[in-house]
């Protein structure tokens, strides 16, 4: 059996190097993308599925609060029965390096890979 001795400072160094080139908005978008399925993507529209929305009132309220705060989003709908979220946005309005910009880029890539 191989044993690895890793100290907290080693982990801190590893993660600080791993995330050093990423903005806070990029990290938040990556975290969101790791928890949702991209059911469909076209420029201007993302349909995602997040199963906990079916039963978790707090998750639903938090999602709506976050989406309401993103000025670049034209509108969105949430279907609590299916856990589906449809986000409509104008690609021309996306601010570079914004949360929505990173989310759109990641959703496009994830959908293309079929993940």
Distances (CA, A) of 115 to 1, 7, 43, 101: 34, 34, 18, 19
Give this prediction's pTM.
0.79
With a cut of 70, say whether residue 4 has pLDDT above it: no
pLDDT (tens digit per residue) in 37-87: 999 999 999 999 999 999 999 999 999 999 999 999 999 999 999 999 999
pLDDT score of 21 more than 90: no
Q: Pick the closest to residue 93 from 109, 77, 72 (CA basis).
A: 72
Query: What residues are paired with 76 via a beta bridge?
Result: 87
Q: Which domains occur in the chain, in start order?
A: 23-113 (3.30.70)
The predicted structure's pLDDT at residue 12: 56
73: which 2 tokens? 């989003």
């Amino acid at each position: 059996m191989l044993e690895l001795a890793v100290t907290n400072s080693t982990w801190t160094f590893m993660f600080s190097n791993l995330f050093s080139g990423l903005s806070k908005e990029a990290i938040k978008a990556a975290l969101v993308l790791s928890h949702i399925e991209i059911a469909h993507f076209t420029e201007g529209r993302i349909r995602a599925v997040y199963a906990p929305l079916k039963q978790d009132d707090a998750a639903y309220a938090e999602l709506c609060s976050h989406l309401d705060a993103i000025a670049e989003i034209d509108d969105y709908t949430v279907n609590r029965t299916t856990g589906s979220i449809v986000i409509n946005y104008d690609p021309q309005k996306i601010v570079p390096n914004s949360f929505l910009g990173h989310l759109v880029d990641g959703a496009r890539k994830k959908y293309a890979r079929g993940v």
